[in-house]
Chain A
Amino acid sequence: MDKSARIAVVERAKLFAGLPDDTVAAAADGAQVRVIDKGEAVFRQGDDATHHFIVAWGRLRLDQTTPDGKNIVLRFMGPGDLVGSVAVWRNVPYPATPLAVDETRLLVWSEARMMELMQAHPPLAMKAMNMMGGRIEELQERLQQVATQQVERRIAATILKIANQSGRKVETGVEIPFALSRQDLAEMTGTTLHTVSRTLSGWIDEGILEGRRSSHLVICRPHRLVEIAEQA
């Protein structure tokens, strides 16, 4: 990879985007190139975090082994993405293993080299902070999603269980043939009346359920409700 190719990669990486030409050139100069064959790891979870990587081309899958031995896929990464930096900056071992889904080429900077770059080009440090902030924002959103999803799953599963036991087929779907209040559902699912009301209103708007406050619930789209109850 010649210098102009390295510059092209650095320029489109989020960490360097919009920074002055001399910063980009210095970063491209200080980078080494590493090629990872398909199926190979860039580094392993638990290794000492010593280098920053940016994907030049190819694709990585970030795998993490949980304490109970399960493997989870955290994310996929492609050209321009920064790999390993959070661990290097935090001075902790790499928390996951990036595996090459296809042959992948990366630009690599040692911890010391990146530190020199940041000291010589302070806007780069600002950019890094901005990126870390972006990651936190992403995680907060994901956390909120997971929390909401869990409540939705519980409510869906509870309605399905009741319908399975006592439901009857009606023209528009499966009816729960007795008054099941929002408060009952809140207590059964360990959530608040407000959350149950909001969730049911959403499902009624989507046509999954039918039922005004005073009448019996009808599951109009049982398949969809099962999907919600079983979503990961």
Chain B
Amino acid sequence: MTDRIESMVVGELMTQWPGAVPVFIRHRMACPGCVMAPFMTVREAAHEYGLDPEALASELVAAISDDAKKTVQA
């Protein structure tokens, strides 16, 4: 699950699940509104900020709704 989130593109993630946006803001990441968000994966973004990609992905999973989790698992 976190693996799939890690390889997702940040822009797409935020469009599909707005619940993810506060997680980026909390980490003071500039992803929300960034012109490069449609190209960078969660893993790449985590790397830029020196964050553990897996931990970030877990936080994102927790933040997005149950519906979203089902979509990713499907």
Contact = CB atoms under 8 A, between A and B. Distances in A.
A225 to B, nearest CB: 8
Contacts of B44: 223
A222 B39 contact: yes
A173 B45 CA distance: 13
Contacts of A4: none
Interface stretch (A6-14, A157-165, A188-196): A157-165
B48 A223 contact: yes
Interface string B31-52: 0001110111000110010000
B30 interface: yes
B34 A226 contact: yes
Given A223-B48, A226-B30, A160 B39 contact: no
How many of chain A's residues touch chain B, expressed as a range? 10 to 19
A17 B30 CA distance: 46
Majority SS at the chain B contact face: loop
B55 to A, nearest CB: 19
Interface in B1-44: 9, 30, 34-36, 38-40, 44
A226 B39 contact: no
A16 B30 CA distance: 47
Interface in A154-185: 160-161, 163-164, 167, 169, 173-174
Contact of A169 (B34, B39, B45, B48): B39
Interface of A: 160-161, 163-164, 167, 169, 173-174, 219, 222-223, 225-226, 230
Interface of B: 9, 30, 34-36, 38-40, 44-45, 48
